[in-house]
């Protein structure tokens, strides 16, 4: 069990979220974070919890401290936080001369505890929102709730804990802008609910904690009579009916009745195993050697509700059927070649590799697969009751010029524009989204650029040789362009008739660029 100083870091970059510490697999971390300002000026810092690393961190819901000011040579101590099994503590500062220290303890995560919930209230305080329900199989919950006001206004907060949303712990409590209110040492029982509500936006709620359901013994325990306890967590060997477990974690002599057994490690059965009732296997199940019989005759059923990650190969070639005339499979999907001496898809009609009847223009013929030397072409209507998948370009009304295709490079569905004499995406800028974090040159029009300026300023270069009708949409979705400006390089084309690059310095800016002609160039439209 690790205890004490679990992690100490200083930010490698100012204004960037970093992992302070990630809970090891199977471990519950209980601790506090200390922030020390080593500078001669005031700094801002943030602290949050993530379900994984930085990439999984929810910037709208995961903060427990947001842009808290810290005076020179001062320190800040958080309230106790809990996170477990791959979850992480996330920190951030606007200065690199700041120390983040996690002091705490690692214990066994026996109950899926740790970082339990994150959220915000709906409809600006007009509706209570369910944050967390204590699982009914746990008898007692303990934890801390953080209310982080990231907005520009003070907010009224309500917190309900009980059986309904109106079992209030907090009612219209004022949480000042830029501050965090901590409701520590919350206690609840299985089935209890936690509801949240705030009068303003930009307020998030974070819940972390654990379940206190076990009686823990740290040393040897001798029992000469009946022991009565709620639950017992024994870390070591247990011997029942025999003086020594003889190297076994659990050794029981005599008849044993077990109800609702959860085995988290290896189970070895030396003799027969008989199971009555429903059996559920989670993880890998391997049957080695012998014959595996599933069901007896037609009175039993085998239900597969999972993926098959291997070949399904019969033991003897050309002997067994997949289905039969009286019990047919409904749909068969294949992503590659279907092979066989004869493929008959005409519902029992004899023939060689025939697919029912295909209407081509005014005549009806059979479509032959394998022997055909040309593609099947329909000069009239094509009707499909299900999916119709065409691998290649599609000509509509003509055979000389395709009008519809799927672009294998971009993934776009494109239509040929005769006036523009080129292919254009059907959905335009709404079809392709790209996240950009550093200097980038766009090579294709018709895309939405999600500009991440949180890591610093950079330049976005527009496509060269644009064509009338080209569209580029730009969104400062991290709301950082006011501090980290975005430069839009015109790449020799005018912007709003001017031969100058565009500088974006407005927080949360969002706009669309439409290329018109050589004189006006790219024209800006707000969105």
Residues 118/64, Cβ–Cβ less than 8 Å: no
Residues 356/364, Cβ–Cβ less than 8 Å: no
Task: Give the whole-angstrom CA distance, residue 398 versus residue 403.
Answer: 9
Say whether pLDDT at 236 is over 70.
no
Q: Would you give the distance in Å from CA 198 to the centre of its chain?
A: 26
pLDDT tens column, 126-150: 788 999 999 987 778 999 999 999 9
Q: What is the pLDDT of residue 359?
A: 42
Say whether pLDDT at 368 is over 60.
no
Nearest to 99 by CA among 124, 117, 75: 75
Which residues, other chains included, contact 6 with Cβ-Cβ below 8 Å and sequence gap of 6+? 21, 29, 31, 102, 103, 104, 106
257 falls in which pLDDT band (50, 70, 90)? confident
**511 vs 111, more confident:** 511
* Chain mean pLDDT for the chain: 82
Q: Would you give the distance in Å from CA 169 to the centre of its chain?
A: 32
56 falls in which pLDDT band (50, 70, 90)? very high
Strand 486-489 relative to strand 88-93, pairing: unpaired
Nearest to 211 by CA among 162, 138, 262: 138
| Helix/strand/coil (H/E/C) assignment for every residue in 344-404 | ECCCCCCCCCECCCEEECCEEECCECCCCCCCCCCCCCCCCCCCCCCCCCECCCCCCCCCE
Task: Give the whole-angstrom CA distance, residue 137 versus residue 157.
Answer: 30
Residues 339/354, Cβ–Cβ less than 8 Å: no
Confidence (pTM): 0.45
pLDDT tens column, 153-190: 999 999 999 999 899 999 999 999 999 999 999 999 98
What does the block give as tokens for 90?
Answer: 């996330």
What does the block give as tokens for 512?
Answer: 């669309």
Task: Give the whole-angstrom CA distance, residue 38 versus residue 41.
Answer: 9
**513 vs 356, more confident:** 513
Percent of the chain clearing pLDDT 70 (strictly above): 80
Q: What is the pLDDT of residue 409?
A: 74
Q: What is the pLDDT of residue 498?
A: 95
371 falls in which pLDDT band (50, 70, 90)? very low
Q: What is the mean pLDDT of residues 197-219?
A: 80
- DSSP string spanning 157-215? EEEEEESSTT-EEEEEEEE-TT-EEEEEEEEE-TT-EEEEEESSSSEEEEEEEEE---E
Q: What is the pLDDT of residue 47?
A: 97
Task: Give the whole-angstrom CA distance, residue 182 versus residue 510.
Answer: 35
223 falls in which pLDDT band (50, 70, 90)? low
**329 vs 70, more confident:** 70
Burial class (CB in 10 A: 0-12, 13-18, 19+), 16: middle
Say whether pLDDT at 471 is over 50.
yes
Task: Give the whole-angstrom CA distance, residue 464 versus residue 490.
Answer: 9
Task: Give the whole-angstrom CA distance, residue 105 versus residue 76.
Answer: 19
Strand 471-475 relative to strand 510-515, pairing: antiparallel
Strand 404-406 relative to strand 413-417, pairing: antiparallel
283 falls in which pLDDT band (50, 70, 90)? confident
Q: What is the mean pLDDT of residues 479-499?
A: 95
Q: What is the pLDDT of residue 398?
A: 59
Which residue do the tokens 């409809």 mark?
Answer: 123
Q: What is the pLDDT of residue 363?
A: 42
Task: Give the whole-angstrom CA distance, residue 274 versus residue 264.
Answer: 20
Other C-beta atoms within 10 Å of 24: how many?
A: 14
Q: Would you give the distance in Å from CA 171 to the centre of its chain?
A: 33
Which residue do the tokens 């303990």 mark?
Answer: 142
What does the block give as tokens for 339?
Answer: 């092979």
Task: Give the whole-angstrom CA distance, residue 80 versus residue 100.
Answer: 15
Residues 429/510, Cβ–Cβ less than 8 Å: no
* Structure letter (DSSP) for residue 495: B
Say whether pLDDT at 495 is over 50.
yes
Structural domains for the chain: 3-211 (no CATH), 392-425 (no CATH), 428-526 (2.60.120.640)
Say whether pLDDT at 474 is over 50.
yes
Output phi, psi for 336, to 5 deg: -145, -160
Task: Give the whole-angstrom CA distance, residue 482 versus residue 467.
Answer: 31
* Structure letter (DSSP) for residue 341: S
pLDDT tens column, 305-349: 778 888 888 888 888 888 887 788 888 888 877 777 665 655 554
Q: What is the pLDDT of residue 297?
A: 63
Percent of the chain clearing pLDDT 90 (strictly above): 50
**287 vs 467, more confident:** 467
Q: What is the mean pLDDT of residues 67-90?
A: 95
């Amino acid at each position: 069990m690790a205890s004490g100083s679990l992690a100490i870091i200083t930010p490698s970059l100012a204004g960037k979220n970093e992992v302070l510490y990630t809970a090891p697999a199977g471990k519950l971390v209980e601790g506090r974070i200390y922030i020390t300002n080593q500078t001669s000026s005031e700094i801002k810092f943030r602290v949050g919890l993530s379900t994984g690393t930085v990439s999984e961190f929810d910037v709208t819901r995961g903060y427990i401290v947001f842009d808290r000011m810290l005076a020179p040579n001062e320190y800040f101590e958080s309230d106790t936080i809990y996170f477990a099994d791959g979850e992480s503590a996330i920190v951030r500062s606007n200065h690199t001369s700041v120390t983040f220290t996690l002091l705490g303890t690692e214990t066994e995560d026996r109950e899926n505890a740790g970082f339990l919930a994150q959220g915000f209230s709906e409809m600006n305080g007009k509706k209570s929102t369910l944050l967390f329900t204590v699982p009914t199989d746990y008898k007692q919950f303990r934890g801390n709730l953080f209310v982080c006001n990231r907005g520009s206004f003070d907010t009224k907060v309500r917190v309900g804990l009980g059986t309904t949303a109106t079992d209030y712990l907090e009612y219209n409590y004022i949480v000042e802008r830029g501050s965090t209110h901590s409701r520590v040492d919350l206690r609840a029982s299985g089935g209890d609910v936690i509801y949240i509500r705030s009068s303003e936006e930009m307020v998030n709620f974070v819940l972390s904690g654990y379940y206190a359901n076990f009686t823990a013994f740290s040393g040897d325990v001798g029992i000469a009579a009946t022991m009565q306890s709620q639950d017992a967590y024994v870390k070591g060997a247990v011997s029942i009916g025999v003086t020594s477990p003889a190297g076994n974690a659990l050794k029981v002599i005599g008849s044993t009745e077990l109800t609702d057994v959860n085995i988290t490690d290896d189970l070895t059965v030396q003799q027969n195993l008989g199971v009555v009732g429903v059996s559920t296997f989670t993880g890998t199940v391997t049957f080695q050697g012998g014959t595996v019989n599933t069901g007896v005759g037609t009175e039993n059923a085998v239900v597969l509700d999972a993926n098959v990650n291997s070949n399904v190969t019969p033991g003897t070639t050309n002997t067994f059927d997949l289905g039969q005339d009286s019990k047919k499979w409904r749909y068969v999907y294949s992503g590659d070649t279907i092979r066989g001496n004869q493929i008959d898809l005409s519902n029992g009609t004899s023939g060689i590799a025939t697919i029912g009847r295909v209407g081509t223009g005014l005549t009806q013929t059979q479509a032959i697969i394998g022997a055909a030397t040309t593609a099947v072409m329909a000069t009239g209507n094509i009707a499909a009751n299900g999916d119709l998948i065409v691998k290649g370009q599609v000509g509509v009304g003509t055979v000389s010029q395709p009008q519809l295709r799927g672009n294998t490079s971009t993934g776009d569905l494109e239509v040929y524009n005769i006036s523009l004499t080129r292919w254009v995406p059907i959905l335009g800028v709404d079809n392709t989204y790209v996240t950009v974090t550093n200097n980038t040159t766009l090579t294709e029009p018709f895309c939405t650029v999600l500009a991440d300026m949180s890591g610093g300023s950079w330049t976005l270069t527009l496509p060269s040789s644009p064509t009338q009708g080209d569209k580029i949409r730009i969104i400062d979705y991290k709301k950082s362009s006011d501090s980290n400006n975005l430069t839009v390089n015109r790449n020799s084309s005018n912007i709003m008739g001017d031969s100058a690059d565009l500088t974006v310095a407005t927080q949360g800016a969002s706009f669309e660029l439409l290329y018109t002609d050589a004189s006006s160039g790219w024209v800006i439209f707000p969105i």
